[in-house]
Amino acid sequence: MEHFAVGFDMGRDYSQICCWNGTSDSPVSVSVVPGAEKYRIPTENLEQFLKKALRLLKPYGKIHEAAAVVFSVEALEEGLVDQIKRAAMQMIGVSESRIYVQTRQESFCAYVLNQPKEIWRHQAVLFDYEGELLRGMILNINPRTTPYLARVECEESWVKPLSGLQQAEKNETFQELIREMFSSRPVSAVYLVGEGFEENWYEASLKLLCNGRRVFAGNNLYAKGACYRAAQMTNRGMAASYVFLGADKISYNVCLRTPGTGKNSMYTLLNAGESWYEAKASCEALLYEEPVVEFFFQPMQGAEGFKESLLLEGLPDRPSRATRLHIEVEFLRVDRMRLTVRDMGFGELFPSSDLCWTEEVELT
C-alpha cells in the first residue's frame, strides 16, 4: 500500500501502535480489542510485541509493505537502535531503509507540529505521569526560520517522584511543578499523558493549567507522533518542514566541494538535524585537478563553518577528470564522523589503484 505507515511507541511495560493508510486522514490508534479504546499492549519483549503487532495490523494493511515504520523510545541507549532494526527486519519483513527510531521527545514534537498552528503558536508543554514519576518537558519552536527549528527542553527539577504520596500531596507537587515551568513562559497548549492521569487526583492542578491554555489528555500521543513522522517519510506533504534539534541529532550540514561545476560549488552529503546513527551518505565524483578532496561543515545555527581537506597521498598521476572517486561519510557518534575516499580509476585507460584514504573528524 503506497501510503501505509506505522508508528510504535515502545514503553517499558506497555506499548502502543498507530497506523495510516489510504482510507484515513490522520493516524489511527490500533486497539487490542476491536471497537474498544484499549490501546496499551504489554511489551514483554520486542519479539513478542512485534508478533502481536503483525496480528493487530492485519485489518489495516500489510506491514511488510509499509513505506515507513517509526519506533518511539524513551531514550536512545547504546545498541538499542540496532536491536530494534534487526528485530523489525526479521519479524515483520521491513527493510532497514524504511525503519526509523526516535525519542519520545521527537514524537512529541512531530505530534504537536501536525496540529493547527494556534496550538503551538507559543510553547507547548507535556506532562508524562507513568509509573512513579511525573515528568515535564517544553517544546520550543522557532517559526521564523526555514525550516522551523524545534527543541524540547527538559530539566532535572522537572522530574518529580510521586510514589507513596497522598492525593493532596500529589496535587500540591504538581502545582509547584506547573508554577516552576510556566513562570514567565507563554504557553499555548498542555498535554497530559500516562496512566497516572487516569485517576481523579489533580482537579486543582487542572484548573491552574486551564488558565488561558488548551489542555489535552490522552495516552497515544507518542505513537501518533511516531506515525506522523512515518507518514512524512512517505512524502504525503505533512505539516510544515521542520528540523528537530535533539541530543542525538547532528548539528552540521556536511558538504563536498565540487570545483569543476563553478566557483565555490557544493554538493550536500548530509543535512543537519539527522540522527547521527542514521547519518551516512556516499557519492561518486571525478577528481578535477589537485589530489585533494575538500569537505565543508556548516553549523545549523550562527557559528562559522570550517573546512577539512583530505590529501590523496600516493594517487597515480592522471589527467584532470580521469580519476573516479567513491566518497563515503558516516557518523560514529553525534560529534565524530569518518570520511572515506576510494580510488575507482577511470575505465580501462586508468585502472583502479585500490588505494583508500580515511580520516576521522571531531565536530564540537
Q: At which of 177, 200, 221 does a domain end?
A: 221
Is 137 in the same domain as 49?
no
Cell of 96: 532497514
Is 79 in the same domain as 143?
no
Q: At which of 87, 102, 117 does a domain end?
A: 102
CATH number at residue 51: 3.30.420.40
**Mean pLDDT, all residues of the chain:** 91
* Average pLDDT over every residue of 168-194: 95
> What is the band of 202 on the pLDDT scale with cuts at 50, 70, 90?
very high
Identify the pLDDT of residue 24.
77
Residue pLDDT, tens place only, 14-45: 999 999 987 777 899 999 887 788 899 988 88
Quote the pTM value.
Answer: 0.87
Residue pLDDT, tens place only, 157-171: 999 999 999 999 999
Is 208 in the same domain as 264?
no
Look at residue 343 and tell me if it is in a domain. yes
Query: How many distinct structural domains can be found in the chain?
Result: 3
Q: At which of 102, 137, 161 does a domain end?
A: 102
Look at residue 243 and tell me if it is in a domain. no
The C-alpha angle 198, 202, 207, rounded to 5 degrees, equals 120
Between the CA atoms of 108, 157, 162 and 206, what dihedral angle is there, to the nearest 10 degrees?
-60
Is 171 in the same domain as 127?
yes
Residue 223 has pLDDT above 60, yes or no: yes
Residue pLDDT, tens place only, 104-139: 999 999 999 999 999 998 999 999 999 899 999 999
Output the 3-class SS for the chain: CCCCEEEEEECCCEEEEEEECCCCCCCEECCCCCCCCCCCEECCCHHHHHHHHHHHHCCCCCHHHCCEEEEEECCCCCCHHHHHHHHHHHHHCCCHHHEEEEEHHHHHHHHHCCCCHHHCCCEEEEEEEECCEEEEEEEEEECCCCCEEEEEECCHHHEEECCCCCHHHHHHHHHHHHHHHHCCCCEEEEEEECHHHHCCCCHHHHHHHCCCCEEEECCCHHHHHHHHHHHHCCCCCCCCCEEECCCCECCEEEEEECHHHCCCCEEEEECCCCEHHHCEEEEEEECCCCCEEEEEEEECCCCCCEEEEEECCCCCCCCCCCCEEEEEEEEEECCEEEEEEEECCECECECCCCCEEEEEEECC
Residue 303 has pLDDT above 50, yes or no: yes
Look at residue 234 and tell me if it is in a domain. no
Residue 236 has pLDDT above 60, yes or no: no
Is 36 in the same domain as 13?
yes
Residue 156 has pLDDT above 80, yes or no: yes
Domain with 12 in it: 5-102
Look at residue 292 and tell me if it is in a domain. yes
* Average pLDDT over every residue of 313-341: 95
Is 88 in the same domain as 159?
no
* Average pLDDT over every residue of 220-240: 81
* Average pLDDT over every residue of 279-308: 90
Is 213 in the same domain as 292?
no
> What is the band of 237 on the pLDDT scale with cuts at 50, 70, 90?
very low
Look at residue 135 and tell me if it is in a domain. yes
Residue 55 has pLDDT above 60, yes or no: yes
Identify the pLDDT of residue 219.
84
Look at residue 98 and tell me if it is in a domain. yes
Lowest model confidence (mean pLDDT) among 43-57, 168-182, 200-214, 230-244:
230-244
- What is d(CA 70, CA 6) in angstroms, rounded to the nearest whole number? 6
Look at residue 245 and tell me if it is in a domain. no
Is 135 in the same domain as 184?
yes
Residue pLDDT, tens place only, 251-290: 999 999 988 666 668 999 999 888 998 899 999 999 988 9
Look at residue 50 and tell me if it is in a domain. yes
Residue 2 has pLDDT above 70, yes or no: no
Is 95 in the same domain as 165?
no
CATH number at residue 293: 2.60.34
Is 95 in the same domain as 113?
no
Q: Residue 9: what residue type?
A: D
- CB-neighbour burial class of residue 258 (10 A; exposed 0-12, middle 13-18, buried 19+): middle
Is 204 in the same domain as 183?
yes
Is 161 in the same domain as 265?
no
CATH number at residue 174: 3.30.420.10
Identify the pLDDT of residue 326.
98
